[in-house]
Structure 1
């Protein structure tokens, strides 16, 4: 229908809406009109196209509201969780000096590789998730491989937070109910918090998340510091203890490596930035905050408690104080966990409805598909966490296999394949060639040695009978 026909129909309609005496008659409106004031029978293909354009524009604007400060908050939500309280135990295994050196050096390397990820996003704006970068490097195979790694790792992280929530509720209530009940409650909370599809909305909860983790760490530090004389049975050591096995040492190293795994979601978050070039401020702010928190947490709590420090360290704070710490840590458990659901949900939803207005999640069908998808992800995460008796060790294997890539060797490959300018041996590229080569080697070491150490740990637990039963009501910690 062209514009002249539309105008003629409009004039015809105007002529019909008058009485014989010339008095105007109000047009009849439809309750189901797509636009306010739409006349019955006047729904046209042009109207529908305009509506879709309007919804697309609204959706695009809704998903481009992140500034660098909110990006920093969202990265903190994704990166810093109660897992940081496993670092004192890593320090106890490795010794104070190696622990501090690894915390600082790996943090600086993670900042650099995150910067490479940001450069790729600026050069290739269409990259919305890590899988798209995989396609740039390795074609369709890379897209499918990296996409599968991305979805699996994030789903496993949701499973991990489901278990952590169950452990927290069990600790707070003295295991007053079946642990499966606590896991179900945790999964429901994670699902509810994952409903907002925009990361700008998650950023609002991020402030609560950050306060929660700082309070949990602070309470643990103060409690262990005050009671150090009564809880310390073996003082801290500057160097590793005698008899340390390779597997034990590398599991401790991977705990530090995984604490800096924020690059996995960076493409997804940057895709919502209104000024993507500001990302450098965010990654430096996050990286330095992480280095400070992780080094201080690992060193101080290890110094206060000594070799017997537990993982997570708040279990070393005493029976009552650990309940308080778990209580104030509940927001970070669920907010940090739910953002993983949101990220993997956005990736799958965007892939399913790539060329449809449904992808903007601002129509009825958009919301139905979104809510269905995140429910499926959450239920799957719950089943994985409860059905696999050695889930924690499985998470270590997946992290060794996948985080080693997302944080280290994939960014190194991106520099060599996507953003390098000139020969890698040109004068201006020499230091970058060496640094990215180092990142690639670190990634390969974590991939091989981390996987080996995790498999050895699983074999040891099977041998000693330390593997729990699936869907057990027994206390988890």
Structure 2
């Protein structure tokens, strides 16, 4: 047997006695038998085929699920802080920046097919240190997002049921269970099927909110002309509150975080360009129209999420319709981080393909652990949403901005930066994107810390593992 036949993806296989027999007298199939090698090869090919069924349309849906969640209805409150002009310009401008950085991410994947997750790409420029650091950032951020969606589910159930006597922890546990179940499909091609429901859910919830707030504004004394919206930031708007509103829009365009993970399962990776343009334009349209219309209908008093500004009955209906987006968008974070962990834990084993009993047991246990950790952190930290903003400032600034800029300079750029007008223009563009990332990192962190201090000083921080439903509304 040749050396290549006696290895499995680089791992040395043990050599057994060819004449070994089973208890019933039949010869056992040994690892050095040709039939055994064929079986192993078939297992790998089947697993690989199972995880390479994602086309560009389903990739678009996966990116929509990961990027467009109920948080899109927090954008009207960002418009209220930034003013109509600022809100529209930032929504459109950051949309094009996000499309470009995602294009760069895709270029890295095309040139380095072995990259399966974001940490793999950072290892190409920062070595083992960057790989481990980004891996921790990647896991921590996605686990916190799972917790964030568990909390959002709790808030939704509290508003829908309108039963304050029910302990809020009950709704939190129900939310965690739903997130766990929806994260169980291990391939993104399967998750994409749920994505169609997710997309219809958020669009319907947004339309209901826009229509309801528009009717309310029209029926109010003075009609639409009496709504107190402004083209510019309201008087007294502080720098930290304005930048915090900006970061709400920044984080709405953070789909590059999971792009490597999704592209690793594409059967035709070069089609990713269609996906990022489709997603980017859809996001820009949804965010800009949602922010502008709801702000124009409600004014400075718009709540976050904007569903709460649609009136008690309508908001309950809208929250009910939005339940799929809350849980499907939340669960895909569990699937992504689970895939990252299992790929690291079993890089040369068929276990990573989750196609047998042992693989499924490990996968189910892993998703359960990730969901529980996310839920516990979210319930234990009383200022969790502000903490998520802090973590986002620290991490999204890299995933969406300065890492892609560094990728271009070190992995994509051909020739010197000043070699022709194309390189000069792209060098300037990527330098600007890098500076945007550092600005979000520095000022976004400052603004998030200020927000945490403000919550404490105002007494709006809820208790840890509280049953009080009122503290969630």
TM-score by length of 1: 0.91
Deviations 1:117-150 (Å, cap 9, x if unpaired)?
0000000000000000110010000000111111
- Cα deviation 1:151-195 (Å, max 9, x = unaligned): 111111101100000000000001342111101000000000011
Counterpart of 1:271 (choices 264, 276, 286) is 264
Which sits farther off after the overlay, 295-304 or 456-465?
456-465
For residues 423 and 401 of structure 1, the distance between their equivalents in structure 2, rounded to whole angstroms, comes to 30
8 A contact 1:169–1:175 mirrored in 2: no
Give the counterpart of 1:245 among 238, 249, 256. Answer: 238
Task: Report the counterpart of residue 7 of structure 2 in structure 1.
Answer: none
1:469 to 452, 463, 466: 463
Larger Rg: 1
2:334 is aligned, of 328, 341, 352, to 341
Shift in Å at residue 48 of structure 1? 3.6
For this pair of structures, how many residues does the alignment match? 447
Match of 2:296 in 1: 303
Which of 182, 195, 202 is equivalent to 1:213? 202
Contact kept in structure 1, 2:60 and 2:275, CA below 8 Å: yes
**Runs of 4 or more consecutive aligned structure 1 residues displaced over 4 Å after TM superposition:** 229-234
Output the aligned Cα RMSD: 1.9
Local SS of the residue matching 2:301? coil
Partners of 1:370 and 1:238 lie apart in 2 by 50
Q: Give the counterpart of 2:129 among 113, 124, 141.
A: 141
Q: Residues 362-381 of structure 1: matches in 2 within 5 Å?
A: 362-381=355-374
In structure 1, what is the equivalent of residue 15 of structure 2?
A: none
In structure 2, the partner of 1:203 is 192
Give 3-state SS (helix, strand or coil) of 1:306's partner. helix
Distance 1:51 1:307 in 2: 65
Shift of 1:460: 1.3
Q: What is the match of residue 6 of structure 1?
A: none
1:449 and 2:438 equivalent? no
* Cα distance per residue 1:386-440 (max 9 Å; x no partner): 0001100100000000001100000000000111101111223011001101100
SS of equivalent to 1:461: helix
Partner Cα distance (2:117, 2:106) in 1: 12
Residue in 1 that maps onto 2:6: none
Please name the residue that 1:411 is paired with.
404
1:279-312 CA distance string (max 9 Å, x none): 0000000000000000000000000001100000
Shift of 1:59: 0.5
Separation in 1 of the partners of 2:23 and 2:48?
A: 30
Equivalent residue for 2:43, pick from 41, 51, 55? 55
**Worse overlay, 357-366 or 253-262:** 357-366
SS of equivalent to 1:457: helix
Instruction: Give the drift of 1:379.
Output: 0.5
Gaps of 5+ in 1: 3-8, 11-27, 31-38
- Any stretches of 5+ residues in structure 2 without a counterpart? 3-17
Q: State whether residues 234 and 308 of structure 1, in contact with CA within 8 Å, keep that contact through their aligned partners in structure 2.
A: no
- Pick aligned residue for 2:182 from 184, 190, 193: 193
Q: What pairs with 1:376-415 in structure 2 (closer than 5 Å)?
A: 376-415=369-408
Contact persistence 2:217–2:227 (CA under 8 A): no
Deviation at 1:474, TM superposition (A): 1.3
Relative to the length of structure 2, the TM-score reads 0.92
Corresponding residue number in structure 2 for 1:440? 434
Distance in 2, matches of 1:237 and 1:412, equals 35
Q: Which residue of 2 aligns with 1:119?
A: 107
1:460 aligns with 2:454: yes
Equivalent in the alignment of 1:178: 167
